[in-house]
Amino acid sequence: MAWEMFKRRSKPSPKEPMVSLSKSGMIGLNAAVTRNIIGDNRFAHLLFDREQHLIGIKFIRNSDLDAYPVKCTKNMSHGSIAGVSFLKTYGVFPDETTAYPASFDESNKILVVSISEKEGEKPEPKKIRRFPRHGV
């Protein structure tokens, strides 16, 4: 018999925090963020550093007038924040869904996402390819 190995289309969840900006205006959070950083917090303040072109996400426990709800799946495999107005306000609304590596600033308790190339370093965004659903 000539067995052929099926190649998975999706990869296992990365262990490093990743944030995606979707062309629909959603801010996506991977399992490393939802399982290791968010904790019991279900709201977030969205921050922007104009000079360094950084997005900051500060997760908070209780809602306030400036807080965005953070939606997470039951198994915490991923989460999302509806960030249309935020992304448009700062001119970072993407033409296509793109994922960026993120880091957690422990001292300020902020998830930091670099969305531009810095001198000598690249954030290495990854375009996300969506596959059509069969039978839909």
Give the model confidence (pLDDT) of 3-45 as tens digits. 888 887 766 667 899 999 999 999 999 999 999 999 999 999 9
Comparison of pLDDT for 2 and 29, the residue scoring more: 29
Would residue 67 count as lying in a domain?
yes
- pTM (2 decimals)? 0.78
Give the model confidence (pLDDT) of 96-125 as tens digits. 999 999 999 999 999 999 997 433 344 455
How many domains does the chain divide into?
Answer: 1
Written as six digits, the tokens of 114 are: 């670099």
Would residue 133 count as lying in a domain?
no
Q: Which of 30, 117, 47 is nearest to 86 (CA)?
A: 47
Task: Decide: helix, strand or coil at residue 87.
Answer: helix
Q: Domain span at residue 117?
A: 18-127
Would residue 98 count as lying in a domain?
yes
Q: For residue 97, give every residue at least 6 positions away whose Cβ sits within 8 Å of its Cβ, in sequence order, or none.
A: 20, 21, 22, 23, 127, 128, 130
